[in-house]
Amino acid sequence: MTRLLPGILAMAAIVLASNILVQFPFGDFLTWGAFTYPFAFLVGDLVNRFQGPRAARIVVLAGFLTGLICSLIGTQIMGVSGPLVTLRVAIGSALAYLVAQMTDVSIFTALRNRPWWQAPLISSLISSSIDTVIFFSIAFSALFTFLEPGVDVSWAAAPGPLLGFGPAAPFWVSLAIGDWCVKIALALVALVPFRIIIGKVTARFA
């Protein structure tokens, strides 16, 4: 368990920071949390590379528990229009994280013997897409109103230009696409620290 501690602490720190930073907008369609959360995939991939999929799944579960605690605290903090974290957001966040991160571990494991960049990139691209679809659909789509009918999310369903300039679409779709674009961009950026860390650790134990 001591060997897993750095990964657990890193994952917990990213999840905690993302839960805090998601409260602060960045432009019209993003929050600052969008720029920290994608690095959870980097942490999981590094643990998987060095310690295997079982260790990676343990680290993922540690992040999941951290997210649940943050959500429980958020449901008790009242904002202007109600609790900071609604039931739909809490369910969407927890389910999206768990499914996406476990998918990332499985895909990375299947590709681990291919060229170094394929496993982290492909696993992150697919799992980030899954994460975005699950979270924004459950949290804001009209299809999931039954989860929390008393909470008004009409602002998210209000139609407007997609990303401010495209065809009309529900506002939450613009939020989802903006978030997804950041995830994809950071999946590419994360290849740099992934390669550097892999190289340094490999050289150290060569």
Scanning the structure block, which residue is given the tokens 């980030």? 128
**Residue 138 to residues 34, 39, 41, 169, 178, Cα–Cα distance (Å):** 17, 22, 21, 17, 17
Residue keyed to tokens 């789509």: 141
Contacts of 135 (CB under 8 A, 6+ apart): 92, 93, 95, 96
Q: How far apart are CA 153 and CA 54, in angstroms?
A: 39
Nearest-angstrom CA–CA distance, 176 and 150: 23
Beta bridge partners of 160: 169
Q: What's phi and psi for 24, nearest 5 deg?
A: -115, 115
Are 49 and 196 within 8 A, CB to CB?
no
Q: Where are the domains of the chain?
A: 2-204
Whole-model pTM over 0.85: yes
Mean pLDDT by 10 residues, the chain (206 residues): 89 95 93 97 97 97 94 78 83 96 98 96 98 97 91 90 93 97 97 94 73
Q: Which fold has domain 2-204?
A: Arp2/3 complex 21 kDa subunit ARPC3 (1.10.1760)
pLDDT at 206: 57
pLDDT of residue 11: 97
1: number of Cβ within 10 Å:
7
